[in-house]
Amino acid sequence: MNLKTAVTRREHFNAAHRLHNKNWSDEQNRGVFGKCNNPNYHGHNYELEVKVIGFINEDTGYVIDTKMLSDLIKINVLEKFDHKNLNMDVEEFKNLNPTAENIAMVIYRIIRPLIEKQYELKIKLYETPRNFVEIPY
Ligand code: NI
C-alpha cells in the first residue's frame, strides 16, 4: 500500500516590510494598513513551512530528501529574503505589496519549478505566531 504522504520542512527568516498602495493617499494607506504602513518599515520573524506531497519511493523510503529540500529553500528563498528589506531589496516586491499572502505566493512561484511535477507543493507562512497564510488552497 502506498498512500500519499506529506513531508514538511520548516525554515525561518526575518525581514522588514511596509504595506503600502502607492495609488492611494497617505490617509487611505494608514486607514487600511495601520501600523504596517509605518514609513520607516517594521520587521517580522517569519516561519516558513514547505510541504511536499507525494508517494514514498520504494528504494529510498523517502517521499523527498529533506536535506535536498532544505538546501533548495535556503539557496532560493532564505538567501533572498533573510535580513532584507522586502520592499527595497527583493525584486519581486518592487511593485507588489509584501503582505504575508504575496510573500507566500512569491515563495510558491520560486519553489514550484524546482520541485518535480509529480509532487504537490503547499506553502504555509507565519507572519506572527497567530497569523499565517497557506497557498495554494
Ligand atoms: Ni507587517
Residue 52 pLDDT grade (very low, low, confident, very high; cuts 50, 70, 90)? very high
Give pLDDT, residue 1: 73
99 Cα: distance to centroid of ligand 1 (angstroms): 7
The fraction of the chain above a pLDDT of 90, given in percent, is 99
DSSP strand pairing (42-54 vs 120-126): antiparallel
pLDDT digits (tens, 9 = 90+) for 5-37: 999 999 999 999 999 999 999 999 999 999 999
How many structural domains does the chain have? 1
Residue 2 pLDDT grade (very low, low, confident, very high; cuts 50, 70, 90)? confident
The fraction of the chain above a pLDDT of 70, given in percent, is 100
DSSP strand pairing (84-85 vs 120-126): unpaired
41: pLDDT strictly greater than 80: yes
Check which CATH number belongs to the domain holding 72 and give it.
3.30.479.10
pTM across the whole model: 0.96
Question: Going along 23-81, which residue ranges are E strands?
Answer: 42-54
Mean pLDDT of the chain: 97
Give pLDDT, residue 17: 97
Residue 108 pLDDT grade (very low, low, confident, very high; cuts 50, 70, 90)? very high
Give pLDDT, residue 3: 94
114 Cα: distance to centroid of ligand 1 (angstroms): 28
Residue 18, all three cell numbers: 511596509
Question: Residue 40, class by beta-carbon neighbours within 10 Å (0-12 exposed, 13-18 middle, 19+ buried)?
Answer: exposed
Which residues, at least 6 apart from 117, have a Cβ–Cβ distance to it below 8 Å? Answer: none
132 Cα: distance to centroid of ligand 1 (angstroms): 12
Give the range of the structural domain holding residue 104, as residue numbers without chain letter.
Answer: 4-135
> Is 36 an annotated catalytic residue?
yes
Catalytic residue among 17, 20, 36, 44: 36
